[in-house]
Each structure stands twice: as structure tokens, then as C-alpha cells.
Amino acid sequence: MSKQSRPLKVCHIAATTEAAVWVFEQLREIRDRHGYEVSAILNGDKGGLVDRLRSAGIPVHACDFDFTSTTDLLGLPRKVMRLVRLLQREKFDVIQTHLFHSMVIGRIAAWFADVPVRLSMIAGPFHLEAYTPRWVDRLTCWTDTAIIASCEYKRTVYKAMGVHQDRLALIYYGPDETKFDPATTTVAKLTEEFGWAPDTPLIGMVAYFYTELPQSRWIPPHLWGRSVKSQEDLIRAAPIVLREFPDAKFVLVGTGWEAGGHDYMRRMQDLVATLGLQDSIVFTGFRKDVSSILRAITVSVQPSLSENLGGTIESLLMECPTVATRVGGMTDSILDGKTGVLVEPANPASLAEGILRLLRDRNSARRYGIAGREHMLAGFTLRHTADGLAKLYQEKFAEHPVGYRRMARGIHILIGSALCAVIALRYYFFDAWVLRLWDQGFVPPARMWLYRFYAFVGRKAPSFGLRQKCMSIFRRYGLLGRHSGNRR
């Protein structure tokens, strides 16, 4: 198999059938700009993303990527082998996974099938901030040829997890820059639409409404009981802003994500009513004219609690002054005092002060917007994403041009099967049993017996440093002190 003999066959895998427009845009762009033969494997055969891909002539295959319940875990080998057979039949040269569940199953299946180039593009830091998905990622990431960290924060986390920097690439999830050009985009007439004065300061947020998250080791502890986009923080910041700019209006653009998101949106509307802000905050629902809205608002806000780059790229491309929380990849796009303003997460007062900073100094805000667009065009657009991916594909395929080897597949399946067993056993017996008992208060009394065991090991074999190793493991799982629930 030679990379010069034919176009590379590239397949992206994502555990979704809706949203994730970036899957469609990346595949279309690397096909049209670089001539690759592209396909997608999604979590079903019906949905908006499926329709987009098929309308562009991109083949779509369906697989099952769920494995959060015990039943799903027991069925994991069957799901992996079903994907292995698909990969062996299609003989893709490059597999690129997105989203956590499809990343894990896609990694293992691509390793089993001996796909020449196996890549994971990390869509967000969410799973790296939670206990269970982080260790699952750590146990499986070695099967990748390379990991595409889509912001500096994630690259730093993977380095801390022991991934060598030579296996880490930095490529952003860039949007189609042709859709976000202030020179060719009309300004949405929001003030006319809602009956406000033409010079009304408009603070806008464009994001889905997601429901509050439960307490679980699949969820980052700082998100327990919170919505990841945190529209609530913007609503609670509004009274502080209104004290200085009483004529300002807040525009929340977006609809609920599934049933839970719609419920959360209704709770936010109730919160607005409770605070008496009905005249100052409007919920527009879903809008197709996002780029026009970004041209109309005075300040764009992204108060997320866990995020890749959120909507910061789009707002900066539209030269819209932007305030964002200091989380994830938003510190890559928002350079505080240069391309926008960074504030502390889960802090309405800090968020309000960031908004006020831009409202008070419109000239500086304008300069931030212009500098922000230049910063985005320099490395954060779909063109840069496609070019970066194409270069990475070629480099890695040149290093590993041969795949689907019968002997290699046998060895990979043997090793990978043991890996799957470790994942299932650790999750089922430790995460779902031991740690659950710990949370319920049954395990702490047994801690002294573990101390005694480790002390015994330390006395009997001090030359091997086993006591230090055991204590290190003890610390990792939060067993040395009072359990705080913040294991990572």
C-alpha cells in the first residue's frame, strides 16, 4: 500500500447523529481541498448530521458506541468486533475519532483491525476532568498513532498523563470562516425586533441550554449540579451590569439540548422572572442568523464551566468584543486584554466586571474585536484545520504505510482483549462497587486494615519501595484522608 498510488481513505468516527457540524465540515474540506476519499461512522443512520453528510455525497456507516452502564460494558466486546469487521471490510488508511465513547471503542477497534493510522481528536476537556473517563482514556490512549489535542490545555493534560509530546498534535476545531465575515454579513435588527432604542447596549450569549449534571465519577466534580454552559451565571451577573447600564439588554440565543435542556431553559426563564429581569433579558430560541446576531451585539459572552473553545472563534471572527471564562481552550482564543476579556468561572461578579470593562471602554472593545479576528484567521479556521489534518495524515501514513496484517491483527486482538477485560473489571468491580460503597460510608472503617497491610509490605520489602508505591496508589484514589469526592 503506497500513499502515492491512490488517495488516502479517511474515516471519521463520532458517537452522535446530531449537531457536530465540524465532522461534516472537516470531511468535506479534506475531500475537496486535499482529494482524500472520506467516510463517516456515526451512532445511527438518522439525524441532522447524517443528512448533511449524505447530501454532500459522503458515505455514512452506523455503529453502537454506548458503554456507560454495566449492560453496555458486558456488550462492549461485541460492539468492538462489529466495528473491527467494518474497518477490515473498508480498509481505511486513516481513522480519526471524535467524542469520548466513539474515541474509546474506535481506538480499540482500529488497533484490533491494524488500521495504519489511528488518531483521536479531542473535542473537549470534559472527560479529562472526570475520574472514570480519564482513567479509561489513560488506559487506551497508547493504541493511537497520535492524539490531536484541540487546545493547549488538553495537550498539557495529556503530557501530565504520560503521553510523549511527539504523539501530541495541536489542531483546532476551526469553523468555516466564509460563514463569519463581518464585511459581507448584514447586521441583525435586534433593537427593532424587540422594540428597543437603537443605541441600546446588547450583551449576547449563543449556546445550547444543557441540563444540570448529576453527581457521578463520569462527571467533573466542579460540574455536579451545574449546567456546562452556565447561562445561570450570566443571568445572575445581569443585575450588577444593569446598575451601571440600566438600559442594557441581554439576549440568550439557543434552544434546549434534548428534554433535559428544555427543562433547564424553562428554569432559567423562571429565574429571570424571580429576579424581576423580564424587561432586560430575552430568550430568542433557535436562530439561523447567528453571524448577523454577532454583528449586532455589543458584547458576546461565553461563561462555560468546561469548554474547548465554545463560541469564541465565531464571535471573534465577527469582530465582536468577547468575554469568556478562563477554562479549557478559551484561553487560546481569548488573550486577556488583547483579543478579549477572561473572567473566573462560576463567578457572576467576575463575569459582570468583564462585561462592564467592555461597555465602559468601547474603543478598547473595538480594538479587541479587530485583533480577535486577526488572531482567528491566523490559525483557528476550518482551512487551517483541514490543512493541519492533511499534513498529519501524510506524515503518520509515511511512518506506518502498511496495515491490516494478519499476524499483527492476531497479536493486537490478544493484547486488546486483555485491555478490554482490565477496563471492564476495573469499572465493574472498583468504580461501580468499591467506590460506590465508599460513597455510601461502608468502606472507610476498613481503611485502617489497608494501612496495616501497606505498613506490613513496607517492613517486609523496603528495598523495593513497595510501601511508597502503595501509598502513591492510596493517594491517587483519595484513600489517605477524608473522602472529598474529588478524585480525578
Identify the residue whose cell numbers are 477485560.
421
Task: Summarize pLDDT for 308-334 with one digit per residue, the tens.
Answer: 999 999 999 999 999 999 999 999 999
Per-domain boundaries in the chain:
9-174+383-424, 177-379, 443-488
Nearest to 46 by CA among 60, 32, 67: 60
d(CA 51, CA 322): 33
CATH of segment(s) 9-174+383-424? 3.40.50.2000
19 versus 271: the higher-pLDDT residue is: 271
φ/ψ region of 424 (left if φ > 0, alpha if ψ in -120 to 50, else beta) reads alpha
Mean pLDDT of the chain: 89
Strands of the sheet with 168-170, listed across from one edge? 60-62, 37-42, 9-14, 94-98, 117-122, 146-149, 168-170
Give the mean model confidence (pLDDT) for residues 389-414.
92
Q: What proportion of the chain, given as a percentage, has pLDDT over 70?
A: 85
Q: Which CATH superfamily is domain 177-379 in?
A: Glycogen Phosphorylase B; (3.40.50.2000)
Task: Summarize pLDDT for 265-297 with one digit per residue, the tens.
Answer: 999 999 999 999 999 999 999 999 999 999 999
d(CA 439, CA 450): 17
How buried is 64 (Cβ within 10 angstroms: 0-12 exposed, 13-18 middle, 19+ buried)? Answer: middle
Amino acid identity at 393: Y
Task: Summarize pLDDT for 432-454 with one digit per residue, the tens.
Answer: 665 665 566 555 445 445 555 54
- Count the alpha carbons within 13 Å of 204 in the hemisphere toward its beta carbon: 29
Identify the residue whose cell numbers are 471503542.
105
d(CA 299, CA 251): 10
**Strands 9-14 and 94-98, how do they pair?**
parallel
d(CA 207, CA 302): 8
- Asked if the domains at 9-174+383-424 and 177-379 fall in one CATH topology, the answer is yes
